[in-house]
Amino acid sequence: MTTLVSSAAEPAGPPFRGRLRVPSWVGVVPFFVYVAAFLILPTAIVVGGAFAGAHGPSLTNISALTQPYILDSFLHSVVLSAASAVIGAVVGAVLAYAVASGAPNGVIRRVVTSACGVLSQFGGVTLAFAFIATLGGAGFITLWLQEHGVNIYANGVWLYQLSGLILVYTYFQIPLMVIVFLPALDGIRPQWREATSNLGGTSWHYWRHIAGPLLLPAFLGCLLLLFANSFSAYATAAALINQGGIIVPLQISNALSSEVGLAQANLASSLALAMVVIVVVVTALYSWLQSRTARWVR
Amino acid sequence: MNRRRHRRLEPFRTIVLVVLGILFLVPIGAMVEFSTRGVGINSPRTLSSFTSIFSYPDLTGAIVASLELAAITSAAMLVLLLPTMVWVRLRVPRMVRVIEVLCLAPLTIPAIVLVVGLAPLYQWININLSDSILTLGFAYLILVLPYAYRSLDAGLSGVDVRTLSEAARSLGAGWATVVTRIIVPNMSSAVLNACLLSVAVVLGEFTIANLLNFENLQVAIATIGRANAGVSIAVAVASLLFVFVLLLALSFVPRPGSRRRRVRIGVL
């Protein structure tokens, strides 16, 4: 920053008193140095670690990914992300439609979007505790149902298993869907529906031939975004599940914090690399679908 | 003819909003219920979980640390990002795209991945620079980049940066004056937006702090929750409310220029 201000005091304007004109790249140096140190270097460390062996580069860590317990964690992560993304996208789209069809500056819209902002971002640990308070062993709903003769845990405590994670993740997926899908819904003009009815079309025609095809890429894009979102989530699962590594992020944290040493750090790197590859592919598909939506949503 | 459609839509909207509203309020209500329970089965409701927050020095320390980190990260974000964004717009327009890609990159690199690469880096920092929890600010600045960038970018595109800065400079203003007294006041709501989003991200951050063995707000909530769920749920309720009020306030900040540019918290 200091560099930026002091060096930037001269340029742009006329060269006062014959001072030197500072080259234009100087102003971006602090930013690039910072990003190189705290974003690019860590990423390079991950990639380097994934291919590091005891004696120079090797594929040991990558082949370590094929161990059954790691493959299981990848499978669990994919199931968890897909299930929570589909539920979140469908319910979130319905909620977004309910919001979008109301007054654009109404109280309901403000409250819903703010609440969605909080719940989608702040999820994490808070969300885990919310569910422990609701459905945990001494949770509000658990106790209430017990009083009425229903034991939701008759077949084992599923809250701390994969099915519990799907339910909990849905709670931050729905709000995220509302936030990312609202702009697409707002882009749908009421005039299009009016034009449809003027031409004798019904509601079905409108959804089947106009709104549906227009919204589909946006919907699929948001679905992918939700998938990537839950695939990379860690905090909620970590706060809910104290040990074991049923999903990839928990495996990474196990590998990172275990005392075994270097080999485990490299395993963490290869797990992390595999995660990035999946997230990048999903995100690339998302941006491609998003660019199709961008043609008509301004 | 639109009115007829609206009449059919009203019950649908009401049902969706009420049902989902209840679904989302139940866990939050359960947190309030849980954190106000007495010790015994039939003992009366009590606020002791809330009042005893202050008897946990670790917890109060973590709350203070998280608030400090939120302030540091927001300030550092403005100092690093805003001048850079203004600079590239004026002097190196071809870099705009590069800066954007770099700022949005953290969205595709999950925090759990970033922390794997940050771990060796922080080992070095903690030995050679400082082992204070405030060093987390370095990593948090990266985490808030996408949100801050979007917000500031939206603000800058509503301001004629070139004309304003040329006018100011021809009247003798220095570069720092241009940024702090000309550009910023013209996009104050975007700056505020960027700051509040950064605060929300930092206050909710768990992954990096936990795996680098720092005790911030979320880590403290998780740790204390293992021993006394009531207290940590009380803190969780309080912090949830705090961020909700923050974002609600944000949605009321007037947004000049575009009607379409609403609070963008998401990843869009």
**DSSP codes joined into one string, B168-221:** HHHTT--HHHIIIIIIHHHTHHHHHHHHHHHHHHHHT--HHHHHTT---HHHHH
On chain A, the residues whose CB falls within 8 A of the CB of B210 are: 235, 238, 253
* Residue A291 contacts B, CB cutoff 8 Å: no
CATH of B56-252, one of 1.10.3720.10, 3.20.20.210, 1.10.150.120, 2.60.40.420: 1.10.3720.10
Q: Are A34 and A124 found together in one domain? A: no
pLDDT of residue A296: 65
- Compute and round to an integer the Cα radius of gyration of chain A: 25
Length in residues, chain A:
298
* Residue B139 contacts A, CB cutoff 8 Å: yes
The Cα A282–Cα A123 span in angstroms is 22
| pLDDT, block means (10 residues), chain A with 298 residues | 43 47 82 94 91 79 85 92 95 91 79 79 78 84 84 78 89 88 82 86 85 86 89 88 83 77 74 91 85 69
* Residue A52 contacts B, CB cutoff 8 Å: no
Residue A131 lies in a domain: yes
Query: Which of B84, B169, B236 shows the shortest C-beta gap to A28?
Result: B84
Residue A60 lies in a domain: no
What integer is the mean pLDDT of B253-267? 46
Question: Number of C-alpha atoms within 13 angstroms, CB side, residue B130?
Answer: 7
What integer is the mean pLDDT of B72-100? 91
pLDDT of residue B4: 53
Q: What is the H or E stretch that residue B139 is in?
A: helix B136-157
What integer is the mean pLDDT of B11-22? 87
Domain residues of chain B, as ranges? 56-252
Q: Are A117 and A235 found together in one domain? A: yes
Q: Which of residues 185-244 of B touch A (CB under 8 A)?
A: 200-201, 203-204, 206-207, 210-211, 218, 221-222, 225-226, 229, 232-233, 236, 239-240, 243-244
pLDDT of residue A32: 94
The Cα A29–Cα A1 span in angstroms is 9
Q: Is A17 left (phi over 0), alpha (psi -120 to 50) or beta?
A: left
pLDDT of residue A182: 86
Q: Are A136 and A201 found together in one domain? A: yes
Q: Are A41 and A173 found together in one domain? A: no
Residue A59 lies in a domain: no
Number of domains forming the structure of chain A: 2
In tens, the pLDDT along B140-151 reads: 999 999 989 988
Q: Are A235 and A167 found together in one domain? A: yes
Name the residue range of residue A149's domain. 67-293
Does B97 have pLDDT greater than 70? yes
